[in-house]
Amino acid sequence: SQQGEEDPQALSIQEGENATMNCSYKTSINNLQWYRQNSGRGLVHLILIRSNEREKHSGRLRVTLDTSKKSSSLLITASRAADTASYFCATDLRQGAQKLVFGQGTRLTINP
């Protein structure tokens, strides 16, 4: 099964509300990253959090990491219609091949 599992698979909220997406993983990591993908396009890197960090902010984005629970969350505050996209977490495994392992994503829809 996937290293990163995201929850929920789909989320629909009203513009201005906050959106929270979660990612769980199975093995120890060096870092965890979040990416955004607009429909039919490539992924765009949003934020990286290292295994020794607990929280990170970037603009309206807040990411938390709990290594004891092997989970991370991405919070988007004051959502906008332009935030409509799929969001993926990706884990850089501490052991094994040099590669990122992507989750299946959360499809976020912001309703105007």
* Residues at the interface with other proteins (CB under 8 A): 2, 4, 30-31, 33, 35, 40-45, 48, 88, 90, 92, 97-105, 107
Cβ closest to other proteins, residue 15 vs residue 37: 37
Q: Which is nearer to other proteins, 18 or 28 (CB)?
A: 28
What the block records as the tokens of 51 is 């295994």
Minimal distance in Å, beta carbon 16 to other proteins? 27
Chain centroid, CA 86 distance in Å:
9
DSSP string of 39-103, one letter each residue:
TTS-EEEEEEEETT--EEEETTEEEEEETTTTEEEEEE-S--GGG-EEEEEEEEESSSSS-EEE-
**Rounded to the nearest whole angstrom, what is the least distance from the CB of residue 28 to other proteins in the complex?**
14
CB 80 within 8 A of CB 110: yes
CB of 78 to other proteins, least distance (A): 25
CB closer to other proteins, 76 vs 90: 90
At its nearest, how many Å lie between other proteins and the CB of residue 4?
Answer: 8
